[in-house]
Amino acid sequence: MTDDIIYLVLLGSCIGFGQFYRKIQNHDEKKWIGTAFGLLVVVMASGLHTVHMLFSYLVSALIIIYFNRKKCHLVSFGFMFGYLFFFRSVTYLGFQAPPGHSNMIQMILTLKLVGLAFEVNAAHLKSIGVGETKKNDEPGKELAKDVEVLTENEKALLKLDMMEIFHYSFNYVGVLTGPYFTYKTYRDAIYLPFSAKANCIQSTLEKLKVIPLYAGLFLLVSYIWPLNYATSNEFYEERSFVYRLMYVWPTFFIFRMRIYTGIMLSECVCTMAGLGAYPKACGNKSGHGPSLDCTPMISNPDDHEYDFETVRNIDVINTEKCWTFREAMKYWNMCVQYWMAMYVYKRFPSKKYRTMATLAVSAIWHGAYAGYYFCICAAPFYLPIEDLYVKLFIKEATGTKRQVLNVVCWISKFFAFSYMGIAFLLLTIEKIWFYYGSVYHVAYIMWAVMYGVGILIAKDRKAKARKAEKAKEKAAQQSGEK
C-alpha cells in the first residue's frame, strides 16, 4: 500500500501541474520546465536508482544519433530490453532492489526510446526515397504532387540531438506510468496550438469522476477476497475445489479495478497537460495519433472539436461488455498494444510466429516473473478455441439464441482472463503450479477437450456439407438426363 500511496501522490501532483504547464507559451521554456518536473518525479519515486534511467537514456541516445540509422532501431531494441532485464536482476548481484515504481518508469522509458529509434529509422528510410526521387527528377522541375515529401516531424527526427531526446525521455507527462506516446505526439504538444484550444479541464474531470468508483470497488473486494489468502494454508486445506476455482473471479476483478484506476489517472496527466489533443476530424487513434493530415487545421484551431484518443490507453466500458476474449484484448492497454503492433508484430520476419513473438516481448516487458509468461503466452492457445466456437455456433445464430450464446461467451471470456490472470498475480512458478494443481488444471484440460470436440464438429459439418453438395449434384444430373 505504501507504493500505491506514493503512486497516487505523484500522479495527483502531475495532474495538478498540468494546469500551469499547458499555459506556457515559450517552446523552450515548456520543454525545460516539463523535463525538470519530470526528473523531480523520477527522483522522488526512484531515489539513487534514477541512475538506471539516466544511463539508459545516455546509451540509447548515442545509438540513435551516431549509429547506422538503418540498424539503430534493432540495436536500441536489444540494448533497452537487455538493460531492462539487468535492471530487474540487480538483487542477484548483491545490489538493493529498486523501488516498485522505478520498474514502471524504466518500462515506459524502454518503449519511448526504442519507439524513437524506430521513428528515426522510418524517417531515414523515407529520406533516402525522397532523395532518390529528387536525384532522378529533371533539373528545374518541382516534384510531382503525388510524391511523398518529408514532414516537419520527420525532418526534426533526422536532426535529433542529445538534449531533444532528453526532453522527450523525461518530460513529466507519462514519465511515471505512461501511457506511451510517440515523439511526434510530444513534439506536436509543444509546437502546435491544439493543446491550448482543447477543453483539457472538462476532459480530465470526465475521467476523474469515475475513478472513485473503481478505487472503491478495488478496496472493498480486496478486503473481502484478499489475494494473499490464495497462498495461505487455510485456502488449500479447508476450502473446497469449487471455492478455490471460483476465487479467480474476485482476484481478477481486483486487478481490473486497480489497473482501471491507475491507467485513467495516468490519462488525466496527459489531458490536463494538453498532450494528445487533436481535432476529432483528424481520425485520431490510440498511440498513433492523427490518421489524417492535421496541417490545414493549424491555421484555424478555434473552429474544431477536440479529443484525446491519441493517449486513450483503456476503454473500460467495452472491455467489460464486449462478448469475446479477442475483442476485449483490443481495449486493454491500447497505447502499449500500438507499440507492440508497430514495432514487433508488423516488423517480425515470420508471419507464422509473429503473434507468439509479440506476446513473448510483451511478457518480457512486463517482467521476469514466470507468472507473466504463464498469463500472457497462454492467450494464443485460448484464442483459436474461442474463434472456433464463435464460427461454429455464434456467427450464424440470431435472436434469443444469439443472445444466450453471447452471454455464455462473455462468461467464458472472463473466466479465461481470470484463470490466466491469477498466474500474473501469483508471479512465482511454485505458487502458480501449486494453485493450478489444487484445481487439477481444470481449465487447461477443459480447453483442450473443447478444442478437440470443436475440431470434430467442424469436420463433421464439412463432411455433411460435401455429402449434401454431392447429393444435390447427383439429383441435378438425374434431372438433366430425364
Cell of 5: 500511496
DSSP state of 391: I
More confident call, 10 vs 367: 10
Cell of 301: 484551431
Lowest mean pLDDT among 181-190, 351-360, 387-396: 351-360
Average pLDDT, rounded, for the chain: 90
Closest CA to 314 of 294, 296, 291, 338: 338
Nearest-angstrom CA–CA distance, 175 and 106: 9
The pLDDT assigned to 170 comes to: 97
- Chain segment 266-284, per-residue pLDDT in tens: 999 999 999 999 999 999 9
More confident call, 366 vs 390: 390
List 285's β-bridge partners, or say none. 289
- Chain segment 344-361, per-residue pLDDT in tens: 999 998 888 888 888 889
CB 377 within 8 A of CB 356: yes
Nearest-angstrom CA–CA distance, 268 and 201: 9
Q: How far is CA 147 from the centre of its chain?
A: 33
- Chain segment 139-175, per-residue pLDDT in tens: 555 544 444 688 899 999 999 999 999 999 999 999 9
Cut 0.75: pTM above it: yes
- Chain segment 97-154, per-residue pLDDT in tens: 888 789 999 999 999 999 999 999 999 999 987 766 555 555 555 544 444 688 899 9
Backbone angles phi, psi at 289, to 5 degrees: 95, -150
The pLDDT assigned to 148 comes to: 64
Instruction: State the catalytic residues.
Output: 333, 366
Asked whether the predicted pLDDT for residue 28 surpasses 70, the reply is yes
- State what percent of residues in the chain have pLDDT above 70: 95
CB 207 within 8 A of CB 264: yes
The pLDDT assigned to 301 comes to: 84
More confident call, 247 vs 303: 247
Asked whether the predicted pLDDT for residue 261 surpasses 80, the reply is yes
pLDDT band for position 373 (cuts 50, 70, 90): confident
